[in-house]
Amino acid sequence: MLHAGLDMGSLWTKAVVLADGEIAGWHVMPSGESSRDTATAALAAALAPLKAVLGDVASVAATGAGKGEATQAGQANREATEVLCAARGLSHLHPEARGVIEIGGESTRVVRLDDQGGVLEFAKNDKCASGTGIFLDAMGKLMGVELGEMGPLSLTSTEDVQITSTCVVFAESEVVSQVHRQTPKQDILRGIHRSIAVRVHGLVNRLQLDGRTAMVIGGLALNSGILRCLEELMYTPLAVPDQPQIVTALGAALIASENPRGSSDAAAGGNA
């Protein structure tokens, strides 16, 4: 039996398909302007390896900023919040995990888990762009560096460049002045990555997550530069699951497979 999960972020849309509880296909694409079109395309692409279509799927759960639109458009038949999906997805892959550090495009969230994978506490940063991919995106454009190159390039840095502002608006002017000073890009990048890591670390600290039992997920977990900075702040190497950017969508798919109906669930309440 097929089930699917959609994580409709503002920047990226992720889809995961489960066949009898195992990951059978997945897809990641930019969200673009029409969430309806993106959801359709993402699901289709995730189903393609199975030569299946949306009608073959028993249940689809949507999460993320665009979850309401997906259920309204009939692409998903239930909703779930990102916190629960991230927790469910990670504890499915790694039952030993006791913490989730999700660094996504628009928001950062950290979750503390009990030994059943249940959520004990969570904290988010979704008002401020400083801790997330939007900031990185903006800085990358400013410096003419592709997102995918930023991590590896920053790891070659040998100088400490401080980006001290907590606000992306002010941080941008600090970066501009560094560029004018002809500071090497890798050093500026490391400063930017460190600034993001410090914001994330602030949330980690509030929840007192143990770096040895927490794992990092979300699109930015793929950025080796941010990961290295966060490890330095936490004094411990950090584990990242395979395909960290789809873990939340996986969690949604699992929820779809466990609770196919979904009408009595909390997440539907946003529109009630």
Partner 1 sequence: MTAVETLASIARNPAQVATEWKANGGKVVGYRCLYVPEEVIWAAGMLPYPLYGTPEPVGLADAYFQACTCEFVRNVFDHALSGRLAFLDGLVLSNTCDVVRRLYDIWSRHVEATPVYLINNPQKLLDEANKDYFLEELHRFRVHMEQLSGREITDEKLSDAIALYNETRTLLRELYALREQDPPPLTGVEALEICTAVTLLPKERANALLREVLAEVKARDVQEADGPRILVTGSLLDHAALIRIVEEEGGVVVIDDLCNTSRYFWHQVEDAPDPMTALYRFLNGRALCACMHPTEARIDHILALADTYEVEAAIDFNLKYCHPFLYEAPLLKARLEAQDIPTTVLEVGHDLSGHGQLRTRIQAFIEMVEA
Partner 2 sequence: MTTEELPGIPLPDLKVVEEMQLGIISRFGEVQQAKADGKPVVWASVVMPKEIFQALDVNVIYGDMLGAYTSIYGLSAHYCEVAEQQGLSRDVCAVHRCAVGLACADERDPIFDMAFAVPDLVVGSNFPCMSMSRSFLQVADKYNIPYYFLDTPINPWGKNLPDHAVRYFADQLQGLIDFLVAHGHTYDRAKLSEEVAFTKALNVIMEEVNTYKQAVPMPIKAYDNVIASTAPIALPKEYRTLDLFERYRDELKERVERGYGVVENERLRLMWIGMPPLCDFGLLNYPERHGAVVVKSMLEYLTGFDMDPETLDPSRPLESLARAQLVSPANPTIEQTLDYFTKAAVDYQVDGVINVVKRTCGVLPGMQRLTKEAIFEATGAPSLVFDLDGVDSREYDPEATKANLDSFVETLLARKGN
Binding site for partner 2 (CB under 8 A): 80-84, 87-88, 114, 116, 118-124, 126-127, 206, 265-267, 269-270, 272
Identity of the residue, 141 or 206, whose beta carbon is nearer to partner 2 in the bound complex: 206
Give 25 or 191: the residue with its C-beta nearer to partner 1: 191
Residue 228 Cβ vs partner 1, minimum distance, rounded to whole Å: 18
| Cβ nearer to partner 2, comparing 34 with 205 | 205
Q: Which is nearer to partner 2, 64 or 140 (CB)?
A: 64
Strand (E) or helix (H) holding 233: helix 224-234
Q: How far is the CB of 203 from partner 1 (least distance, A)?
A: 9
Query: Which pair of structure tokens corresponds to residue 250?
Result: 């996986």
Torsion-angle region of 20 (φ positive above 0: left; ψ -120 to 50: alpha; else: beta): left
Contacts by 80-84, CB closer than 8 A, 24 or more apart: 80/251, 80/252, 80/255, 80/265, 80/267, 81/266, 81/267, 82/7, 82/107, 82/109, 82/248, 83/109, 83/111, 83/119, 83/122, 83/124, 84/119, 84/251, 84/255, 84/267
CA separation for the pair 272, 265 (Å, rounded): 11
Residue 114 binding result from partner 1, partner 2, none, given CB thresholds of 5 to 8 Å by partner type: partner 2
- Contact present, 31 and 245 (Cβ < 8 Å): no
Smallest separation (angstroms) from partner 2 to the CB of 264: 8
DSSP labels, 36-75: HHHHHHHHHHHHGGGT--GGGEEEEEEESTTHHHHHHTTS
Residue linked to tokens 């030569």 = 51
Residue 156 lies near partner 1 (rule: CB under 8 A) = no
Q: How many C-beta neighbours within 10 Å does residue 113 have?
A: 25
Residue 269, contacted partner among partner 2, partner 1, none, CB below 5-8 A by kind: partner 2
212 binds, among partner 1, partner 2, none (CB under 5 to 8 A by kind): none
CB of 201 to partner 1, least distance (A): 8
Residue 164 touching partner 1 (CB under 8 A): yes
The listed partner (partner 2, partner 1, none) that binds 165, CB under 5 to 8 Å by sort, is partner 1
Given the complex with partner 1, which of 62 and 163 has the nearer CB atom? 163
- Nearest approach in angstroms of CB 205 to partner 1 is 5
Is 109 a residue that touches partner 1 (CB under 8 A)? Answer: no
* CB-side neighbour CA atoms (13 Å) of 119: 18
Q: Does 3 bind partner 1 (CB under 8 A)?
A: no
Site string for partner 1, 201-220 (x = CB under 8 A): xx--xxxx------------
**Footprint on this chain of partner 1 (rule: CB under 8 A):** 164-165, 198, 201-202, 205-208
